[in-house]
Structure 1
């Protein structure tokens, strides 16, 4: 049996049925009905990589794979937390005792949101109320699709609607970021949480990392017979080796050498100004790192402008070119790809993808490809065949359409 013949394209489960399943699992776990079922999506970055820490522009979209949280408000003063994916790792802790390290890591993404919101809403640690939560995570783990942010945002949405906290979207996003950064201890810049909360059906989210401002841009792929193929290369991440921190430090050195607070200032200088400033950097490595950040910000801006002016249908060719240029820059100037990422991108392009690029931090993880909807399976199979020929671990492919943000299901 060949690798191609076993390739399966994973699609998001039906949202309504998945919500009902979470509700049933809650009843089985706690012996009573949930007050509601809430969900939030995973996300993928269409374009705009390694620019967030230089105040750049990013363009993520929510995907159909979601995390569901069935929740009931109790009078126990305790957090009772269960997961369909971790059935033997239940949590039962007093809300007043929530603190970093008090629960297993997986539970910290949910407990941390409660902990973060309790500063402004002390009733969450008063001992007068409790929470029973059943989590059903349908966002694939380890594929760089922000399963943790989906969990955080589903819980934040549930707390707002069931307890009437009066939080804004930005306040919920901030609480989710604190949960990940301070409670769990995982670094995040807020892109994932912003997309999971603020995304809209058929749209991409233009996020300005300088001030957190967002704009929705039309990105209705199905209307134009398109889909976004996500391929998890299953290449082992190596961010802990220091490469990510090194790249960030190099961009900071470039900004300092140019007398700029961030490289966003350079990107905003216009084409001639950008060229002159980059040419002024004497160190070749620092210049290439800066060139990626600056040109990537410019690519995101052009991509968003094209979506706002004519949309996908009129600008498909140029949008694909920008995606391709993004990957090539990440490979050549920023040097964060690995062979699996480059082979996957090359195979997708050879199979007819309009554009393909790595997504996420690099050094492993996933690629995305903008393809005709009726060519999704064929493109996924082409990548699988290329992986088999190179002796790589078989990849996992997902079909994605731009989805909506956090909300109530039941």
Structure 2
């Protein structure tokens, strides 16, 4: 612990520099209630929905910013997510509404929606994510032009908190479409579904999205973390029994909301740097670097050296955490989480002062370890905390934020939850 404290000390004096803008939160429900969602759908459309489907948010325990190089990742599904009530139609028209925005309806024709700038602009706001799913499913040959739907969405997953709220909306909508339109070839293959949902994000929305973002909501399992190979898309769920070890996963939402265009720009820059480093090293991707010391000796560019060091060591940390999970040594994963944050802060340079302070304060208050999750420059940190220390860690982080004049953080405790499913 003394070593961790020495390493954490520089966090307290970090300069703000180029950090994300703190913006207002999108309003979400305290809890999604299926009865209330069904009633809202019926009130809006005059008939009950054919069903309700739900996809969770996710927190990446380890493997942050490695999926773009075909690395390893270790996400878990969260208890909060996005629910979609849907009634299929056969007229090609889609009408989307949200519990969060009563009285507002967005209508578009599935066949007329495309990934051009004009096509995207024709569908406003959050409903663009719904249109993206229709476009991607149609482009993959699973949905014809006559397939439409009436939709009502509700969410209890914070938006912009680094917990994959957009991916949850994509996955819930796609699962609802596949089930309600009887697309059995699609609904039975979660790997294919993840690829379609990812295409909706990257090609229609224009948002950076790695393999993990849409795989985790579809393929995670309750009580487990998904050990995912982002190159082969193979994965298996590893037991992550926090309760049995007397531990909690504490989500610390810094309430710093990165602007989407800034996140996209940062991700694109980091991906380009990783690709340039791989070319200089003569490997397909940084996943293929076997001798890190030799690779760093060959690279003279200081920025590329940093990127290589993060990616290669982060992949090793995924294997280390999986090994500790299998050995039921869950308290020991905390130090690996904290080491990951140091690397994301110093080597990949995607943290921000609020995330750094959340990690510092949590570890000093007795958390076993902590790190940022998500793309970075805002959003949330996660901490592994013994049950009896959760209140103290919350208080310490809140006090540290107040002392720095930062916006008060929000806290949630989470257990590994189920992937996407039909709730009724």
- TM over 0.5, yes or no? yes
1:34 aligns with 2:49: yes
From 386, 389, 400, the equivalent of 2:414 is 400
TM-score (normalised: structure 1): 0.89
> Aligned partners of 1:94, 1:237: CA distance in 2, in Å?
31
How far does the alpha carbon of each residue in 1:236-255 deviate from its partner, in whole angstroms, 9 at most, with x for none? 52674544333333222222
* SS of structure 1 residue aligned to 2:159: coil
> Aligned partners of 2:206, 2:140: CA distance in 1, in Å?
21
1:360 aligns with 2:374: yes
- Structure 2 regions of 5+ residues with no counterpart? 1-27
From 70, 84, 91, the equivalent of 1:69 is 84
TM-score (normalised: structure 2): 0.86
> Aligned partners of 2:279, 2:155: CA distance in 1, in Å?
42
* SS of structure 2 residue aligned to 1:124: coil
Matches within 5 A, 1:111-126: 111-121=131-141, 124-126=144-146
The answer on whether the counterparts of 1:49 and 1:359 sit within 8 Å (CA) in structure 2 is: yes
**Which residue pairs with 1:4 in the alignment?**
none
RMSD over aligned CA atoms reads 2.1
How far does the alpha carbon of each residue in 1:115-153 deviate from its partner, in whole angstroms, 9 at most, with x for none? 221235565313xx5311101022111101111111111
> Aligned partners of 2:211, 2:313: CA distance in 1, in Å?
22
**Which residue pairs with 1:250 in the alignment?**
273
1:378 aligns with 2:399: no
- Structure 1 regions of 5+ residues with no counterpart? 1-10
Given the superposition, is the C-alpha separation of residues 141 and 239 from structure 1 closer, same or farther in structure 2, using an over 3 Å criterion?
closer
1:53 aligns with 2:74: no
The answer on whether the counterparts of 1:12 and 1:399 sit within 8 Å (CA) in structure 2 is: no
> Aligned partners of 2:260, 2:422: CA distance in 1, in Å?
35
The answer on whether the counterparts of 1:78 and 1:93 sit within 8 Å (CA) in structure 2 is: yes
The answer on whether the counterparts of 1:12 and 1:400 sit within 8 Å (CA) in structure 2 is: no
* SS of structure 1 residue aligned to 2:139: coil
The answer on whether the counterparts of 2:252 and 2:411 sit within 8 Å (CA) in structure 1 is: yes
**Which residue pairs with 1:6 in the alignment?**
none
- Cα distance, 1:211 vs. partner? 1.5
> Aligned partners of 2:102, 2:405: CA distance in 1, in Å?
35
**Which residue pairs with 1:8 in the alignment?**
none
* SS of structure 1 residue aligned to 2:381: strand
Moved more, 22-31 or 340-349: 22-31
- Cα distance, 1:106 vs. partner? 0.7
> Aligned partners of 1:52, 1:353: CA distance in 2, in Å?
27
> Aligned partners of 1:150, 1:199: CA distance in 2, in Å?
12
- Cα distance, 1:331 vs. partner? 1.6
Moved more, 108-117 or 244-253: 244-253
- Cα distance, 1:379 vs. partner? 1.6
How far does the alpha carbon of each residue in 1:220-241 deviate from its partner, in whole angstroms, 9 at most, with x for none? 2122222111112123526745
The answer on whether the counterparts of 1:12 and 1:65 sit within 8 Å (CA) in structure 2 is: no
From 309, 319, 335, the equivalent of 1:321 is 335
- Cα distance, 1:195 vs. partner? 0.3
Given the superposition, is the C-alpha separation of residues 238 and 99 from structure 1 closer, same or farther in structure 2, using an over 3 Å criterion?
closer
* SS of structure 2 residue aligned to 1:34: coil
**Which residue pairs with 2:252 in the alignment?**
231
1:87 aligns with 2:108: no
Matches within 5 A, 1:130-145: 130-145=148-163
- Cα distance, 1:69 vs. partner? 0.6
The answer on whether the counterparts of 1:105 and 1:184 sit within 8 Å (CA) in structure 2 is: no
From 283, 289, 301, the equivalent of 1:283 is 301
From 120, 129, 137, the equivalent of 1:109 is 129
How far does the alpha carbon of each residue in 1:11-67 deviate from its partner, in whole angstroms, 9 at most, with x for none? 99666xx22221111111112111111101011111111212222111111100011
